Amino acid sequence: MSRMTVRKVAVLGAGVMGAQIATHCANADVPVVLFDLPAKAGDANGIVNKALAGLRKLQPAPAATKETLQAIEAANYEHDLEKLRECDLVIEAIAEKMEWKLDLYAKVAPHLRPDAIFASNTSGLSITALAEGMPAALRGRFCGIHFFNPPRYMALVELIATAHTDPAMLDQLETWLTTRLGKSIVRAKDTPNFVANRVGVFSMLAVMHHTARLGLGFDEVDLLTGPKIGRPKSATYRTADVVGLDTLAHVIHTMQATLPDDPWHAFFQAPAWLTALIDQGALGQKTRAGIYTKQ
């Protein structure tokens, strides 16, 4: 199998995941261009500044020097799509909404090189459905590339193919992710929320359910489900704040919408308190307000 040369990566979406994936690539000395919605007029560095401000809020913070972060090139979909021509790998990491992703794909598709790999970091939307409207050639170059949060520290990446994905391309991508970014790859089927989130979100919902039933506090549950029993610092509710409460709700919604015959279907609901926090704009670490952090 020939090795893939990734001379430049584009990351679409400078949110919690996109900014960190871009930083991880920059740390591995891979040139990277980070796209987001157009910055406000007069704020040329708005995207990178927003991403950097976001990165500073994260715990653990991605270990990167100021120079590494400054090496990340900022771009927006309105003016800079031509930059995609320079990129061998394009990773989409915008909000977990099928319609938004499809709109963006239609916009970026004409600017992708035919030999570029195009991959979505979706938490669990159908990769096949995301690929549906694409030209046939692009469908062959498209797959799911599911990094975990925080991507610098989490070794796992799920790779998800569709019936159209070129298997040789997927092998090359796996080799690159392993050797260049130090990741461990699990090939997952294109099922709702793939493997890790299907199990992970289910257990998170079970914990939330029992928290209420047993009248426990969030911090009490985190103490019981965190480092004291060998799990990472984040535990259950801190993890939800790190993930982003809106993103968590989207992932729960995917299970609700796509698994009508699952015996646990009625259980795939965001608790009312979670929806209320989202409605207030308290989305977790990224807004400095969430389950723990109040305004």
Residue type, 57: K
- Of 36 and 73, the one with the shorter C-beta distance to ligand NAD is 36
- Of 48 and 116, the one with the shorter C-beta distance to ligand NAD is 48
- Of 93 and 116, the one with the shorter C-beta distance to ligand NAD is 93
CA atoms within 13 A on the CB side of 122: 33
DSSP labels, 218-258: HHHHHHHHSGGGT--TTHHHHHHHHH-HHHHHHHHHHHHHH
With contacts defined by CB under 6 A, name the span among 11-19, 134-142, 175-183, 225-233 that binds ligand NAD: 11-19
CA 278 – CA 271 distance, rounded (Å): 11
With contacts defined by CB under 6 A, name the span among 38-46, 165-173, 242-250, 264-272 that binds ligand NAD: 242-250
69 binds ligand NAD, rule: CB under 6 A: no
291 binds ligand NAD, rule: CB under 6 A: no
Number of residues that bind ligand NAD (CB under 6 A): 24
Whose CA is closest to 162, among 196, 198, 125?
A: 125
Are 94 and 18 a contacting pair, CB within 8 Å?
yes
CB of 5 to ligand NAD, least distance (A): 26
Look at the block and give the residue holding tokens 């965001």. Answer: 270
CB of 97 to ligand NAD, least distance (A): 7
Measured CA distances, 107 to 61, 78, 103, 112, 113 (Å):
32, 10, 7, 10, 14
CB of 255 to ligand NAD, least distance (A): 13
Using CB under 6 A, which of 14, 22, 34, 90 touches ligand NAD?
14
CA 151 – CA 24 distance, rounded (Å): 7
37 binds ligand NAD, rule: CB under 6 A: yes
241 binds ligand NAD, rule: CB under 6 A: no
Binding mask 95-134 for ligand NAD (x = CB under 6 A): xx---x---x----------------xxx-----------
CB of 2 to ligand NAD, least distance (A): 29
CA 143 – CA 163 distance, rounded (Å): 10
CB of 279 to ligand NAD, least distance (A): 16
270 binds ligand NAD, rule: CB under 6 A: no
- 215: region left, alpha or beta (phi > 0 left; psi from -120 to 50 alpha): left
93 binds ligand NAD, rule: CB under 6 A: yes
Using CB under 6 A, which of 72, 119, 143, 243 touches ligand NAD?
243
CA 10 – CA 47 distance, rounded (Å): 14
62 binds ligand NAD, rule: CB under 6 A: no
Are 120 and 127 a contacting pair, CB within 8 Å?
yes
Using CB under 6 A, which of 11, 26, 72, 94 touches ligand NAD?
94
DSSP β-bridge partners for residue 159: 145, 187
Query: What does the binding site for ligand NAD look like in residue numbers (CB under 6 A)?
Result: 13-18, 36-37, 93-96, 100, 104, 121-123, 147-149, 243-244, 247, 286
